[in-house]
């Protein structure tokens, strides 16, 4: 048989259906531990079913969020450190979702790569499942796709989709007024933003021993859902903001009306070491830093001034550090006082 007449299988072209089936067959042992009583069917059906009959909400509204982890995934792949990348994915979605006051319900993931590595990519799913347990959401489905020609060798990508529920008349933000206080919750580092710049900076220091720094940069994005779902915290809070791409500069204004802005006291918190390194190595101006990184504040809560003591006491009770970083004022542009603690 000539080369021209020889059959070409799907595997010859780069997609291994057998490996994909083996990968999917192992998924129930990983993801079933995330299921709650509302999950109707497991992995393997054409679509996932989730019951809402146990949700005691008077005016239920479904809330959805979709996000990925950006180029942090490239650093994780280069380091072969997948332990936190699943939490990055879950947190980027769940932290957005809870800004509406929603209770997270379930999660789906999308994993695509040049060539499926059952061992390594199973670790990624394990990381996602572990984060879903922490966030108290069910991992009820997803998609795994081999896409040779789209990705370079060993490259892969992740995206996620989360769904939650909230009472239409209790959703956030509520009525925010001048004088309300702004509290920040610390980040673990850059979370999942700014990594295209970070990777460029790492290349410039290629000769140095950067293993410790790289692992620090890979610290997973914090999950703030336990904080937001606390009954006292949720009843007190007027609004939440997830500080992601665009930093405080772009994300805090998203929950404020046009005639309101915020005064932020930059000296009130400490910037994590990994972010201090990135800001100083890139020689960013303060405004550039505040629009590129979270600068140490991963999540923001806005609280009525007369409820601040109750808020602080409850946060301490649930072991969540909260830092008073500013207040709401009239205006159209954020006002920053002092300087970031990066020295």
Q: How many residues in the chain?
A: 343
Distance from C-alpha of 181 to C-alpha of 158, rounded to nearest angstrom: 36
Distance from C-alpha of 91 to C-alpha of 112, rounded to nearest angstrom: 19
Asked if 303 and 225 touch (Cβ cutoff 8 Å), the reply is no
Structural domains in the chain, sorted by start: 17-167 (3.30.1330.10), 181-337 (3.90.650.10)
Tokens coding 50: 């989730």
Taking alpha carbons only, the member of 184, 324, 178, 160 closest to residue 240 is 184
Residue 7, preceding bond cis, omega within 30 degrees?
Answer: no
Tokens coding 322: 């909260």
- Looking at residue 42, its pLDDT comes to 79
- Looking at residue 235, its pLDDT comes to 96
> In 10 A of CB 40, how many CB atoms?
12
Burial 56-80 (b: 16+ CB within 10 A, else e): eeeeeeebebebbbbbbbbbbbeee
What tens-digit pLDDT sequence spans the chain (343 residues)? 556 677 888 887 888 888 888 888 888 889 999 999 999 997 888 999 999 998 989 999 999 999 999 999 999 999 999 999 999 999 999 999 999 999 999 999 999 999 998 888 999 999 999 999 999 999 999 999 999 989 888 889 999 999 999 999 999 999 999 999 999 999 999 999 999 999 999 999 866 778 999 999 999 999 999 999 999 999 999 999 999 999 999 999 999 988 999 999 999 999 999 999 999 999 999 999 999 999 999 999 999 999 999 999 999 999 999 999 999 999 999 999 999 998 8
- Looking at residue 2, its pLDDT comes to 56
Helix (H) or strand (E) holding 18: helix 17-25
> In 10 A of CB 38, how many CB atoms?
16
Residue 46 DSSP label: S
């Amino acid at each position: 048989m000539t080369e021209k007449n020889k059959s070409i299988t799907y595997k010859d072209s780069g997609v291994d259906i057998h490996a994909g089936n083996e990968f999917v067959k192992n998924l129930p042992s990983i993801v079933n531990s995330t299921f709650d009583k509302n999950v109707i069917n497991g992995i393997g059906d054409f679509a996932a079913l989730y019951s809402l009959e146990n949700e005691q909400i008077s005016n239920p509204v479904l809330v959805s969020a979709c996000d990925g982890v950006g180029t942090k995934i490239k650093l994780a792949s280069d380091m072969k450190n997948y332990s936190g990348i699943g939490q990055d994915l879950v947190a980027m979605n769940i932290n957005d979702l809870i800004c509406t006051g929603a209770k997270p319900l379930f999660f789906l993931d999308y994993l695509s790569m040049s060539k499926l590595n059952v061992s390594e990519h199973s670790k990624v799913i394990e990381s996602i499942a572990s984060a879903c347990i922490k966030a108290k959401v069910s991992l009820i489905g997803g998609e795994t796709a081999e896409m040779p020609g789209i990705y370079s060798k060993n490259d892969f990508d992740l995206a996620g989709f989360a769904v939650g529920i909230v009472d239409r008349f209790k959703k956030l933000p509520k009525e925010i007024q001048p004088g309300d206080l702004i509290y920040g919750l610390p980040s673990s580092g850059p979370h999942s933003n700014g990594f295209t710049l970070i990777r460029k900076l790492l290349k410039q220091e290629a000769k140095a021993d950067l293993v410790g720094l790289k692992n620090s940069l890979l610290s997973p994005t914090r999950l703030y859902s336990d904080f937001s779902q606390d009954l006292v915290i949720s009843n007190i809070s007027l609004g939440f903001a997830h500080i992601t791409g665009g930093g405080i500069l772009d994300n805090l204004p998203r929950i404020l009306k046009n005639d309101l802005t915020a005064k932020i006291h930059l000296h009130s918190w400490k910037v994590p070491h990994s972010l201090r390194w990135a800001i100083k190595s890139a020689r960013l101006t303060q405004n550039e830093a505040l629009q590129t990184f979270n600068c140490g504040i991963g999540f923001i809560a806005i609280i009525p001034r007369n409820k601040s003591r109750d808020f602080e006491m409850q946060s301490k009770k649930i072991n969540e550090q909260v830092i008073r970083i500013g207040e709401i004022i009239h205006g159209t542009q954020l006002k920053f006082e002092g300087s970031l603690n990066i020295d």
